[in-house]
């Protein structure tokens, strides 16, 4: 079995901005996401039999060639489930029709091919930190609530394998898929 997710990799300059944003909250006890683990998850598949990896790649290729590159904008700071009972701190993504359509197409194609896909609404975000105990972050993030961290050109997405190790997760690229490319 392989633990699989599909995500958009972030450029180094955006990761630097996210690290700066994390620096504003270092007084809060949290498990901070390291730069090499920062990404925008499109679909989490979880444990998948290795014999189906090529099928996932084929589905992703089919979807990728239907989309042209597009931009997304990082904007706003928020928390799940909300600011008063936070267990996750995140940077939001301004509403993007192309991003939402890409995620929906991937999810639907994977479901149509009998893959188990999370059944919760897609809320595009970049996780900055996770908390063991729920926190009230309302006052802590007020001045950053509308922070704008720039735009990202999305020209590809990646199928990742994630191995959970005692020292933390290790992500390995299984396949890069360029948007609008007929050949993968």
Q: What is the pLDDT of residues 99-151, one digit of tens each?
A: 999 999 999 999 999 999 988 899 999 999 999 999 999 888 888 878 888 99
Per-residue model confidence as pLDDT tens digits over 39-57: 999 999 999 999 999 999 9
Is residue 113, in this structure, part of any structural domain at all?
yes
The tally of domains found in the chain comes to 1
Is residue 184, in this structure, part of any structural domain at all?
no
Helices (H), the chain: 12-23, 53-64, 97-112, 138-141
pLDDT of residue 183: 59
Mean pLDDT of 8-13: 96
- CATH number of the domain to which 139 belongs: 3.90.1140.10
Is residue 183, in this structure, part of any structural domain at all?
no
Q: Please name which of 173, 84, 78, 72 lies closest in space to residue 135, comparing C-alpha atoms.
A: 84
Phi-psi label, residue 180: left if phi above 0, alpha if psi -120 to 50, beta otherwise: left
Q: What are residue 145's phi and psi, to 5 degrees?
A: -55, -30
pLDDT > 90 fraction of the chain, expressed in percent and rounded: 80
Q: Please name which of 38, 67, 70, 52 lies closest in space to residue 174, comparing C-alpha atoms.
A: 52
What is the residue range of 115's domain?
2-178
pTM above 0.85, yes or no: yes
Is residue 63, in this structure, part of any structural domain at all?
yes
């Amino acid at each position: 079995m392989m633990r699989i997710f599909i995500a958009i990799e972030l450029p180094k300059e955006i990761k630097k901005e996210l690290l700066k944003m994390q620096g504003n909250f270092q007084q809060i006890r949290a498990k901070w996401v390291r730069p090499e683990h920062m990404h925008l998850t499109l679909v989490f598949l979880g444990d998948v039999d290795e014999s189906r990896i090529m099928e996932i790649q084929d589905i992703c290729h089919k979807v990728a060639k239907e989309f042209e590159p597009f931009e997304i904008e990082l904007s706003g700071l928020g928390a799940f489930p909300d600011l008063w009972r936070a267990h996750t701190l995140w940077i939001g993504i301004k509403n993007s029709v192309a991003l939402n359509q890409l995620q929906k197409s991937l999810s639907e194609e994977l479901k149509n091919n009998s893959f188990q896909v999370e059944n919760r609404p897609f809320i595009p975000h970049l996780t900055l930190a996770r908390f063991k105990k729920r926190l009230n972050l309302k006052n802590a993030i007020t001045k950053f609530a509308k922070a704008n961290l720039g735009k990202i050109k999305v020209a590809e997405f990646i199928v990742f394998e994630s191995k959970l190790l005692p020292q933390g997760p290790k992500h390995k690229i299984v396949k890069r898929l360029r948007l609008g490319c007929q050949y993968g």
